Structure formats: structure tokens, C-alpha cells
Amino acid sequence: MSGITYDYMEQYIRSLIPDSNNILKELEEYAKENSVPIIQKEVGKFLELMINIKRPVKILELGTAIGYSAILMQLSSNNTTTITTIERNKDMVNIACDNISKYGFQDKIKVLEGDCLEVLEKLEGKYDFIFMDAGKGHYNHFLPQCLRLLNGDGVIVADNVLFKGMVASKELLKRRKITIVKRMKSYLEMVSNSKELITSVIPMGDGIAVTTRRHNNE
């Protein structure tokens, strides 16, 4: 399991989540068979919840893979929502675009091919909800661009911020992950220490950080 929380707790929480609909089930099976990392079940449920509360009109995603989380967010949204999702791996872009067309979301989900940092720099307009799920070692570099693109009352959800527990515990830290972990810590410090932002880090899945702009004067 994730190394973030107790296995029995995770299993119990997952047991409460109803089976996915057929589209998501097919994509989950494909991801499992082909070892494509996609969001964990409880993170999917959290995104669905956030989208129901927030009702974003424009969503931006960093890291498309096969399009699973983009499709999940679209299924959680109403008809006016559009999603822009960024992916640098050409094979993934092709698979995601095929899936998006296969399930009829081509007018709602747009895949932009390229490295997040380069694509983010060129994007214009504002987004109500940003989901970060690409380039774990670069969240701190993506943040200024994401804040530029985030609406005044927008929300950023960043996945994998506890990175199998390595961000919180030196004992779990693997040498080859030192740089990623350092940068992830830097992201968490940036969003936690900024006077303009409020962030809650939740030990769910591989750890998520939920950030929004502060609207009081504290």
C-alpha cells in the first residue's frame, strides 16, 4: 500500500468507495495491465467531492497519462466544465486522446502535448481548479505558473506530496529520491508558509496538498 497510513485503514476506506462506472473500470483495468500509474481510488473520490463543492468551469491538469483522472473529473463535473490536461509523453498523449474520443469527451477535454513548465508558461486565462499530478520533482517550479493561472477563489490539489512517506521520514528516504523529496518539501513549504495561501496536507493515497488563496487578513 502507500506507506502513508495504516494498511487496514486504507483497505477500510477503499471498501467504502462504490465500484467505478464502466468507463472508469475499463481505464483502471488498462492501467493495471499496462502498469500505468493513475490516481488512487480515494484520491479519485476526493477529486469528485471537490468538484461537486467547487463546481469549476475550467480545470487544468498536469499529467494526463491515459486520461483516467481527466475523464473522472469530467464525469464529476457538469456540462459546462472544460478540462485542459498536459502530458509530455507522446505515446500517453495518443492513448489519452483515443480514450477521450472513445467515450465522447473530445469537446470537453483538451490534451496539450509538452513539458508542463513550457506549456504552463504559454497558457493564458484563468482556471478554477488545478490538479498537479506530473513531474513530482518539479511542483515547486510549476507553482508560480499555477498561481498565475489560478482564479482568485481557485483551488490547487497536488498529488503524491508525501511520496511514500519519504517526505516526512528520513528512515523511509531512498538515496536516489533525495532530489525529488527535497523539491517536494520545498513545494510544501512554499504553499504552507505563504501569507497569501492556505494549505492543508492530507495523508490520503500518497499524500495530497490542497491550496487556495487566503481571503481574511490573518
CB atoms within 10 A of CB 45: 20
Beta carbon of residue 107, minimum distance to ligand SAM (angstroms, whole number) = 20
Closer residue to ligand SAM, CB minimum distance, 88 or 108 = 88
Beta carbon of residue 216, minimum distance to ligand SAM (angstroms, whole number) = 32
Beta carbon of residue 196, minimum distance to ligand SAM (angstroms, whole number) = 25
Euclidean distance between CA atoms 214 and 204, whole angstroms: 23
- List residues binding ligand SAM (CB under 6 A): 37-39, 63, 65, 68-69, 86-89, 92, 115-116, 133-135, 138
Closer residue to ligand SAM, CB minimum distance, 19 or 218 = 19
Closer residue to ligand SAM, CB minimum distance, 134 or 149 = 134
> What are the CA-CA distances from residue 106 to residues 9, 67, 80, 97, 103 (Å)?
38, 11, 14, 8, 8
Q: Are 214 and 199 in contact (CB under 8 A)?
A: no
Closer residue to ligand SAM, CB minimum distance, 24 or 168 = 24
Q: Is 69 exposed, middle or buried (0-12, 13-18, 19+ CB in 10 A)?
A: buried
